Amino acid sequence: MQRVKLDTDIRPLSDFRANVASIIDEIRNTKRPLIITQHGKSAAVMLDVTEYESMMDKIELLSEINIAETEIQNGKGINHKDVKNMIYKRAKR
């Protein structure tokens, strides 16, 4: 995901309402998120759908890696040699 450009990617809700179609096109083209403010404070973030899906995939992968590392630290892992043997046995069937 592209980084937010502070001078262009923060807009008030009133500007967003007035220019919805062009702002959505801009988000699709730049792949940058848009921060929408309300009463001078950040209120929402708008993302391109593909950027959102990519971000969620990365979060899911990092979560799975974290779970795996915890399991290994707790002695629940299977060493490489044992996994390799299990795979070879299944492949020979």
Lowest mean pLDDT among 5-9, 36-40, 42-46: 5-9
Fold of 1-47: YefM-like fold (3.40.1620)
Contacts of 45 (CB under 8 A, 6+ apart): 33, 34, 35, 36
User: pLDDT, tens digit, for every residue of 55-84?
Assistant: 999 999 999 999 999 999 998 888 889 999
pTM: 0.71
Going from N- to C-terminal start, the domains of the chain cover 1-47, 49-93
Predicted pLDDT of residue 6: 83
